Structure 1
Amino acid sequence: MEVTKEEKEGVIRAIDFYVEGGRKADGKITAKAFADTATMSWTENGVLKSVPIKVLYDGFDSSEPMDAHYELTYLNVAKNVAIARIESQFGKNKFADMFTLVKDGEQWKIVSKVYQSK
C-alpha cells in the first residue's frame, strides 16, 4: 500500500521534533514527538535495555547543542499506525533508529524507539 503525502509529512513532523530536540539540546522539543508512555530500547554488551523515553529527554537536556540530521529510509503506514526507519547523526555519533508510531487525533506520536549505534 502506498503511503500518502499527508501520512509521510505527519510522520516526518514527529521525527523532526526528535532530531530538533537533539540539535538544540532541548528535551521539551523532543517530547513533542513521543507519546507520554513511549519507550526506548537497544542492546548493550548483548543485553537488552529498555527505558522510559524521559531518559532520552534528560540526555538531550544535559548535552550541548550539536549538529543533527537524518534520512528517512523506510516508511510503512497502515491507517493509524506506522513503522519508520531513519539513518541519523547526532554530533559524531551515527545511529540506525526505528520507530513505531500511532496517530493521536491529527498528530503522529512515536510510541517506541529502538536503535543501533553505528
Structure 2
Amino acid sequence: MTKLLFILTSCILLTFPALKASADQFNTPQEAVGTYVTGVTLGVGRNIEMAFQKTATIQYFDERGQYQIFGRDQFMQRVDTGNKWAAKVEITNLLITGNVANATVEFTWGKEKQHGYVDYINLIFDGQQWQITSKVAQYILRKPN
C-alpha cells in the first residue's frame, strides 16, 4: 500500500509542472495584468516572469523623480521580496485592438492615500497567450484624503 501511494504521489508531482505551465497561459489582457498586479502587491517575482515577455522593458520615474529602467528578470528580482504592499490598484482603462492591447493601471497607497503610480502597460497576443511587452510608469503625489 505504501509503495502504491508513493507511485501515485510521484506521478502527480511529475505531471503537475505540465499542468501548471498550461495554467500560466493568459487568455485575456486582464489576466496578464492581474498577475502582474498580484506579483507587485504580494512581492512574488514569479508572477512578473509569467506576465511579462522575456524581452519586456520596465521604465518609470520613482518618488524621487529618478528614472529607472529594468529588463523583466531584473524587475522580477526587485519585486520578489515576499513583502505585501497595501495599495489600492485598479485598471482604469483598457484598449484592445485585435492582438494588441494597452492598459492603464493606477496604484494608490499611504495613510492619507497620497502616493500613487500610473502604469501604462502594452500587451500582445502571440498566438498562444497575452503577455506584457512593456511598462512605463510615473510616480505621482496625490492630494491627501
Q: TM-score range by the shorter chain?
A: 0.7 to 0.9
- Using the size of structure 2 for normalisation, the TM-score is 0.64
The corresponding residue for 2:86 is: 67
| Structure 1: stretches of 5+ with no match in the other structure | 1-8
Whose helix fraction is larger, Structure 1's or Structure 2's?
2
> Size of the alignment, in residue pairs?
109
Structure 1 counterpart SS, 2:28: helix
CA distance in 1, matches of 2:51, 2:102: 14
Specify the structure having the higher radius of gyration (Cα).
Answer: 2
Query: Are 1:96 and 2:118 matched, yes or no?
Result: yes
More strand by share: 1
> 1:55 and 1:82 mapped to 2: Cα distance?
24
Distance 1:32 1:69 in 2: 22
The higher-RCO structure (CA 8 Å, 6+ apart) is 1
Gaps of 5+ in 2: 1-26, 141-145
Q: TM-score, normalised by structure 1?
A: 0.77
For residues 1-118 of structure 1, the aligned pairs below 5 Å read 10-43=28-61, 48-62=67-81, 64-89=83-108, 92=110, 93-118=115-140
Which structure 1 residue ranges, 4+ long, deviate > 3 Å from structure 2?
A: 43-49
